[in-house]
């Protein structure tokens, strides 16, 4: 992992791990005296980079229920995963389940995979997006084909009885989960808010909606390319949307170009991050910083570039 820091000392620092890190984010408030950033493994282990220590989220990432993402909500960090897992950082520097139970899909065997989340202040609730991972086909005919080593028939039966995964949106109010009925099956990759009221949803199939109620939605943007949109982010009270070549400011009804436009650099867009007065556009092979009205491409030291 690479860290860029302009506060003094070396600008670039690196850490080496044998673990598979599924996500990285700013440390929650209770851990910021010990580390600036944390990472999470698929097994639910939290790495405190600067301190060089680890902590396990109790109950997280067990068996096939892998963890998926970290979400920084400023006052707390959420850890999301398969099986509808949602854990929250606490005031003591530990972690606990957001709810006493995790959300359950409509059909037995299916699993909720949370990818993204935010907190809506009006009304006060958590909004979480992702997809429903459908259960694999299981029938007596498939078992019989397996027992006779009839691979072709087994594959045909499994394909015929396989349901595609589909997107999902859930809300949690502190005492109950609610699955929101959406007029699309597309998975949700980003859920963000800048003002605590309007929620923006970025769908994998290339469109963005805004909503305050979660039931009435407005189409804000539709991608005109196969690549779709790459990321949503918040910067100075505005929600921004990035595709592979452009950056937009979102309103509840439409988009306007973010000016000045970011320069074209190598790689595909992965993350938009807007801490404080600076905005970072992170691509697979480059990093751009927007500060004082100008874009600058950060130069990663050659000896660290292969780690990015």
pLDDT in tens, 103-140: 988 777 889 999 999 999 988 999 999 999 987 656 66
Helix (H, G, I), strand (E, B) or coil at 114: strand
Lookup: tokens for 291:
């500060």
Q: Is the pLDDT of residue 307 over 60?
A: no
What is the average per-residue pLDDT within 51-74? 92
* Measured distance CA(104)–CA(306) in Å, rounded: 41
Q: Is residue 197 part of a domain?
A: yes
- Could you give the number of structural domains in the chain? 2
CA distance 203 to 190: 7
Mean pLDDT of 139-160: 70
- For 58-88, b/e burial (b = at least 16 CB within 10 A) is eebbeeebbbbbbbbeeebbbbbbbbbbbbb
Residue 17, sorted as left (phi over 0), alpha (psi -120 to 50) or beta, turns out to be: beta
Residue 298 has pLDDT above 60, yes or no: yes
Domain stop point among 159, 191, 219:
219
pLDDT tens, position by position, 233-268: 999 999 999 988 889 999 999 999 999 999 988 888
Question: 32 by DSSP, 3-state: which?
Answer: coil
What residues make up the domain containing 183? Answer: 99-219
Last residue of a domain, one of 203, 219, 235: 219
Mean pLDDT, residues 166-181: 93
197 and 245 co-located in one domain: no
- Give the max Cα distance, the chain: 69
Contact partners, residue 263, CB within 8 Å, separation at least 6 = 288, 295, 297
Rounded average pLDDT over 198-227: 91
| pLDDT bracket for residue 308 (50, 70, 90) | very low
Does residue 142 have a pLDDT over 90? no
Which residue carries 């979102």 as its tokens?
Answer: 250
Residue 219 is predicted with a pLDDT of 95
Residue 176 has what pLDDT? 92
Element (H, E) at 302: helix 302-305
């Amino acid at each position: 992992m690479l860290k860029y820091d302009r506060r003094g000392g070396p600008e670039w620092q690196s850490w080496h791990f044998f673990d598979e890190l599924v996500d990285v984010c700013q440390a929650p408030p209770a851990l910021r005296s010990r580390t600036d950033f944390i990472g999470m493994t698929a097994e639910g282990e939290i790495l405190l980079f600067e301190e060089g220590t680890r902590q396990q989220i109790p109950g997280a990432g067990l068996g096939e229920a892998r963890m998926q993402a970290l979400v920084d909500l400023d006052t707390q960090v959420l850890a999301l995963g398969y099986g509808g897992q949602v854990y929250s950082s606490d005031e003591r520097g530990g972690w606990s389940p957001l709810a006493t139970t995790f959300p359950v899909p409509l059909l037995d065997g299916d699993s909720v995979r949370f990818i993204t989340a935010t907190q809506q202040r009006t009304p006060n609730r958590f909004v979480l997006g992702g997809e429903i991972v459908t259960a694999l086909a299981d029938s007596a005919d498939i078992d019989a084909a397996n027992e006779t080593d009839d691979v072709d028939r087994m594959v045909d039966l499994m394909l015929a009885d396989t349901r595609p995964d589909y997107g999902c949106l859930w809300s949690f109010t502190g005492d109950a989960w609610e699955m929101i009925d959406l007029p699309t099956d597309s998975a949700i990759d980003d859920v963000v808010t800048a003002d605590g009221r309007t929620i923006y949803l970025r769908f994998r199939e290339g469109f963005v909606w805004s909503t305050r109620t979660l039931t009435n939605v407005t189409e804000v943007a539709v991608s005109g390319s196969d690549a779709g949109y790459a990321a949503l982010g918040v910067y100075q009270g505005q929600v921004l949307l990035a595709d592979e070549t452009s950056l937009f400011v979102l309103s509840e009804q439409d988009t306007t170009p973010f000016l000045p436009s970011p320069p074209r650099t190598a790689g595909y867009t992965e993350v938009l991050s807007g801490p404080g007065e600076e905005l970072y556009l992170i691509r697979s092979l480059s990093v751009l910083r927007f500060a004082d009205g100008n874009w600058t491409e950060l130069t990663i030291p050659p000896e660290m570039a292969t780690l990015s």
